[in-house]
Amino acid sequence: MAKIDLYNFANRRALVRVDFNVPLDKSTFEITDDTRIRAAIPTIHKILSDGGSAILMSHCGRPKNGPDDRFSLRHIVSRVEELLGTKVHFSDQLFSESAYDKSSNLPQGEVLLLENLRFDPREKAGDTGFAKQLAKHGDVYVNDAFGTAHRAHTSTATIAKEFP
C-alpha cells in the first residue's frame, strides 16, 4: 500500500472514498457542518495537482429504501466546489452508461462526485459484484474516509481487492 504523498497521480483516475456524511438542514438541505468535507480537501488537491482526476464516492445519512432526495449528495456539490476552488461534476447514478462515461472521460484536474453509495443496499453488504462495478470508475483507489474505515462495507473494504 503506497502512501499518498509518495504516489504520483499523473494521468490517473483516482477513485476516492471520502466521508461526506455531513449534516444537512431538514428543510433547506444546507450543510450545517462541513468539517468532513474540509478533511478530504488536501487529498483531492494532491491528486489534482499531480495531474490526475478524482472520482469521489461517499454515503450520506441512512436511507432506508433506496434513493431518497433528503440524502442525495447533489446537495453538497456547491460546497465541495467552493472548498476546492474548482468545478465538481455530479452523477446521480452509480452504474449507468452516463456515469461510466463521466468517470472514464473526466479530464485531468477535474472532479466527479458519484451519488450516495447507500442508495444501493449492496454498499453495506461488502458485495464483491458491487465492488467490481465501482472499481470501473478509477485506475487507483484511495480510502480517505477515516471515519468509516472500520466498516466492512463495499467501498471501504471489499473494493480494495479490485486494485493492485
- Give tens-digit pLDDT for 34-80: 999 999 999 999 999 999 999 999 999 888 888 888 999 999 999 99
* pLDDT surpassing 80 at residue 84: yes
> Residue 56: what are its φ and ψ, rounded to 5°?
-95, 140
Q: How far is CA 163 from CA 36, 81, 114, 157, 158, in A?
A: 25, 28, 19, 11, 10
Q: Which fold has domain 9-162?
A: Rossmann fold (3.40.50)
> Residue 146: what are its φ and ψ, rounded to 5°?
-55, -40
Judging by beta carbons within 10 Å of its beta carbon (0-12, 13-18, 19+), is residue 40 exposed, middle or buried?
Answer: buried
Cell reading at 47: 491528486
What is the rounded average pLDDT of the residues 130-141?
97
**pLDDT, position 124:** 84
* pLDDT surpassing 80 at residue 1: no
Spell out the residues 6+ positions from residue 77 whose beta carbon is closer than 8 angstroms to its own: 88, 90, 113
**pLDDT, position 69:** 85
Instruction: Tell me the average pLDDT of the chain.
Output: 93
What is the rounded average pLDDT of the residues 84-101?
96
* pLDDT surpassing 80 at residue 151: no
Strands across the sheet containing 53-57 = 88-91, 111-114, 53-57, 13-17, 140-143
Q: pTM score, two decimals?
A: 0.94
**pLDDT, position 149:** 66
Q: Name which of 7-21, 39-53, 82-96, 117-131 the model is least confident about.
A: 117-131
**pLDDT, position 39:** 97
